Structure 1
Amino acid sequence: MILALALCLDAALGEPRWLWDRLPHPAVLMGRMVRTLDQTLNRAPFARAKGVLILAILVIVAGGIGWLLAQLGAIVSLVLAGILLAQRSLVDHVAAVGAGLRLSPKAGQRAVAMIVSRDVSQSTPSATARSAIESLSENFSDGVIAPAFWFLVAGLPGILIYKAVNTADSMIGYLSPRYAAFGWAAARTDDALNWVPARLSAGLLALAGGSLDRWRAIGADAALHRSPNAGWPEAAMAQSLNIALAGPRSYDGQIKDLAWVNAGGRRTLTPGDIDAAIAIVWKAWRLALGAILVLGVLLWVF
């Protein structure tokens, strides 16, 4: 029941600026730790072994802090879990892209640049909307379902370890000359931790969007994605809205010819598609909350 309350706490409050303007968010503290370890250890020789070492340090520290905080009682677990879930902030950021696009293409570009790492300076309004929907779908898994899943599995240590690994992956898990070896352990571990949540997220989005009967097509599209996990929620959203996601995009000034997800879907997207995607994500969130409540009752009864 703590997790259900934490989901509701996050949905109600999100990330209050008055608090995080005064205190560092736990994700920010994790990021500082990763950056310090990167600057200290990321050099030859044995870059891959050092990457494994920093991952072990992160897991031990996050798990240990989680265990200690869990001893302080249910209220601490509730508040910290609520902080580490990101449904409300995710939806707010994506809704801002739709609002920006309704003002001007540039306003939409500025809003989507806050939530994606790709180059969006030349994005058309349709491409901007597509980027926002992709980010919404992927981060519903990474920011909501995955941390909730690991809290269910292992409590505060589980959710803190997941967030630490996910933060490390977002910072050093790249196939660049600097990080291909050093970030290997973070990237592979993040893939492993997200394997089940990504597929759970796809199921929830497909159920919410009425596309569960197209699960075979969702799986086929997910297999085309460059990520072993991100393609699942994106494919479920694409099928639910009958739109095409992913496809060619610009990174570091170069066009990457990536495969389309649901290639036969509609490719001209509007702010209305962002609104529809947000509605599906909220419905999927309610389905997840209901499933957690049912599980809690069953555990209490039996």
Structure 2
Amino acid sequence: MTLVLVLLLDAAFGEPRALWDRYPHPAVLMGRAVAWTDRRLNDRTRARGVLAVLLLSGGAILLGLALQVLPGPIAEVLVGAILLAQRSLADHVRAVAQALRLSIPEGRRAVAMIVGRDTAAMDEPAIARAAIESAAENFSDGVVAPAFWFALGGLPGLLLYKVVNTADSMIGHRTPRHEAFGWASARLDDLLNLIPARLSALLIWLTRPHGGWREIISDARLHRSPNAGWPEAAMARVLNVALSGPRSYHGESRDYPWVHPHGRKAIGPAEIDAATCTLWRAWAILLGLALLLAF
């Protein structure tokens, strides 16, 4: 029942800005811990990267165990709700649609807040694709995976997942500095997301289960990530839009394959709104599964 309360609390209140304007968000604290390991341990070897992940993971598990011994479920529910991101994700994606209705420059500014690719030259369809892809991928990383590991391991499982996911986002990239040092965090993040990514795809597909599951599997395998392609491929089929495709990072063009290439490519705010609605429908199915587990 604790997971049900966590899902409902997060959906109701999201990220209270007044609170996080005064105090650092737990994700920010995790980011500081990852940055500390990067400064102190990074000698550009895999061995030190493994040590960093062990320190971060061990600290997260110990903190989770300490919080779990507090009387009552209040600490579990509050920490769980803080570390899930359904409401904030839906709000950020919806904000891109609202901005894009005003102008393309406003849409670029809004989507730049939720994606890491270059946005300066994006047209309306590219902005919409970026927002929808972010919606799908972050539904897995920010909602389903934390809920999954919370259900399996309580606060230790949730905090372990979040710190590893944070480490992957900060040091898991293939840059000269992090090619070796970030290897362990990237591989562990892939492992922890293996089941949640596929569960996310299933939840999204179940919002409109009109066939296409085999095609989702096929498209997911084309993705550069072993996990992110699953929810993205499912969202593409549900909305009947083409996602991924060519884009630019740090001024360098990347010719990624299209996901659901026969889907619509001339898309805009309406499709972003449809993706937001799909997020909430998939969340509702997840809530139903949590209720079944509770009873």
Give the structure-2-normalised TM-score.
0.99
In the aligned structure 2, how far is the partner of 1:21 from the partner of 1:178? Answer: 32
Over the residues paired in the alignment, what is the CA RMSD in angstroms? Answer: 0.7
In the aligned structure 1, how far is the partner of 2:39 from the partner of 2:207? Answer: 44
**Per-residue deviation, residues 50-105 of structure 1 (Å, max 9, x unmatched):** 00000000100000000000111311100000000000000001111000000000
CA contact 1:86–1:143 (8 Å) conserved in 2: yes
Task: Confirm or deny that 1:207 pairs with 2:209.
Answer: no
In the aligned structure 2, how far is the partner of 1:189 from the partner of 1:294? Answer: 29
Equivalent residues in 2 for 1:1-302, closer than 5 Å: 1-44=1-44, 47-72=45-70, 73-211=72-210, 213-297=211-295
Q: What secondary structure sits across from 1:21 in the alignment?
A: helix
1:39 deviates by 1.2
In the aligned structure 1, how far is the partner of 2:108 from the partner of 2:208? Answer: 27
In the aligned structure 1, how far is the partner of 2:207 from the partner of 2:178? Answer: 38
Q: What secondary structure sits across from 2:176 in the alignment?
A: coil
If asked which structure has higher relative contact order (CA below 8 Å, sep 6+), I would say 2
Q: What secondary structure sits across from 1:119 in the alignment?
A: coil
Q: Amino acid of the residue matched to residue 4 of structure 2? A: A
- Unaligned stretches of 5+ in structure 1? 298-302
In the aligned structure 1, how far is the partner of 2:57 from the partner of 2:120? Answer: 37
In the aligned structure 2, how far is the partner of 1:48 from the partner of 1:113? Answer: 32
Q: Amino acid of the residue matched to residue 26 of structure 2? A: P
Q: Amino acid of the residue matched to residue 13 of structure 2? A: L
Q: How many residues end up aligned between the 2 structures?
A: 294
In the aligned structure 1, how far is the partner of 2:237 from the partner of 2:291? Answer: 28
In the aligned structure 1, how far is the partner of 2:56 from the partner of 2:42? Answer: 15
- Unaligned stretches of 5+ in structure 2? none
In the aligned structure 2, how far is the partner of 1:214 from the partner of 1:130? Answer: 20
Give the structure-1-normalised TM-score.
0.96
CA contact 1:209–1:241 (8 Å) conserved in 2: no
In the aligned structure 1, how far is the partner of 2:115 from the partner of 2:55? Answer: 28
Segments ≥4 residues shifted beyond 2 Å: none
CA contact 1:223–1:231 (8 Å) conserved in 2: yes
